[in-house]
Amino acid sequence: MDAFLGTWTGSLESAENIDAFLEKTKIPPQFINAVKKRQYTTIASKQGDTYHVINKITSDPQSKEVVYEFQLGKEYEVTDHDGRKTKRVTTWENDKIQEIRTDDAGHQSFLTIEFLEGGHTATQTMTFDGVSTKLSLRKV
């Protein structure tokens, strides 16, 4: 899991199948283009068994940072950039981050981050209700 530590950047603009994914997640149509243009920075650190994460939408200076902490295998709650709360459980399996997210209505989504050779790139796959999107992350 140490591969996750550091600063990562990514953009939804180049994500595979992003339109179908956003439509499935019930994002209002008037916001889809803005969401697709988002660029993110994630900063991850660790102290003891606790991971500290800061997510920023760098393409929108007005957006609040999402800051949270977690321990592997334990449930925690996160309020996303759009104000939606999810309960999450993050694990490290087969050299990948696996995360299950459950919203207030009980809908689950899944996130996987697979770190590629050299440790400077990763592939993030998000799945909701059978529809997936995949994007590349770069360590800076």
pTM value surpassing 0.85: yes
**CATH code assigned at 83:** 2.40.128.20
| Coil/strand/helix, residue 129 | coil
Give the ranges where 42-107 is alpha helix by DSSP (H): none
Phi, psi of 30 (to 5 degrees): -70, -15
Task: Write out pLDDT tens, residues 8-67.
Answer: 999 988 899 998 998 888 888 888 888 888 899 999 999 999 999 999 999 988 888 999
Report how many domains make up the chain.
Answer: 1
- At 7-19, the pLDDT tens digits run 999 998 889 999 8
What domain range includes position 12? 2-139
